[in-house]
Amino acid sequence: MAQSVTAYIALGSNLDNPLTHVTQACAEINALPNTQVVDSSPWYISQAVGPGQQPDFINGALQLTTQLPAQTLLESLQTIENQHGRQREVRWGARTLDLDILLYGDDRIQTDTLTVPHPYLHKRNFVVYPLANVAPNLVLPNGTALAEVQAQLGDQGLQCIGRVYSQ
């Protein structure tokens, strides 16, 4: 049997009832084979980062234990995105569901389809704040404490709207 790994997933949506998409995605991720949601962050509203005028996002994070290899986990998350009508036409465009692997154990992964740690993790407060809710003492693979990154980024543009998913 494969070893369990702790992974952290970012969730986001800004189209077609975003709160419904991210909440349903939590349950769908928890239903993946050999995967269990350990903790979920409260949801945050944040301004969209990307081209043109876009609706605000709902963002959150999950802590998982999984026996799925990182690439299989990625493919499973993309299947969930597709089931929610995800379109990949414009980079950083509006979307019904965005699921990103932020961290997969202490692994550093660089393939054509997956980069872990997520390359923008340390630059986006709408990722760092939810992640800090589920892993406040987390130290990133580069040795930096997540709390330090959180303090540097600040909470400008974020509004916590509370926890609406519980496993």
Please check whether residue 167 lies inside any domain of the structure: no
Contact call for residues 138 and 145 (beta carbons, < 8 A): yes
- Is 100 among the catalytic positions? yes
Domain count, the chain: 1
Residues 43, 60 contacting (CB under 8 angstroms): yes
Residue 9 lies inside a defined structural domain of this protein = yes
Residue 54 falls inside a structural domain: yes
Which is the catalytic residue, given 39, 95, 108, 112? 95
Query: In sequence order, what are the residues at sequence separation of 6 or more whose Cβ sits closer than 8 angstroms to the Cβ of residue 110?
Result: none
* 50-82 residue pLDDT tens: 666 788 889 999 999 999 999 999 999 999 998
Let me know if 91 is a catalytic residue: no
pLDDT exceeds 60 at position 91: no
**Can you give the three-state secondary structure of the chain, one letter per residue?**
CCCCEEEEEEEEECCCCHHHHHHHHHHHHHCCCCEEEEEECCEEEECCCCCCCCCCEEEEEEEEEECCCHHHHHHHHHHHHHHCCCCCCCCCCCCCCEEEEEEECCCCEECCCCEECCCCHHHCHHHHHHHHHHCCCCECCCCCEHHHHHHHHCCCCCEEEECCCCC
- Is 12 a domain residue? yes
Is 95 a known active-site residue?
yes
Of the candidates 86, 88, 107, 124, the residue annotated as catalytic is 86
Instruction: Identify the CATH number of the domain in which residue 61 sits.
Output: 3.30.70.560
Task: Examine residue 35 and state whether it is found in any structural domain, yes or no.
Answer: yes
Q: Which of 98, 108, 124, 155 is catalytic?
A: 98
98-153 pLDDT, tens digit each: 999 999 999 999 999 999 999 889 899 999 999 999 999 999 999 999 999 999 99
Among 100, 107, 112, 124, which one carries the catalytic annotation?
Answer: 100
Question: Would you say residue 64 lies in a domain?
Answer: yes
User: Which range marks the domain in which residue 54 is found?
Assistant: 5-162
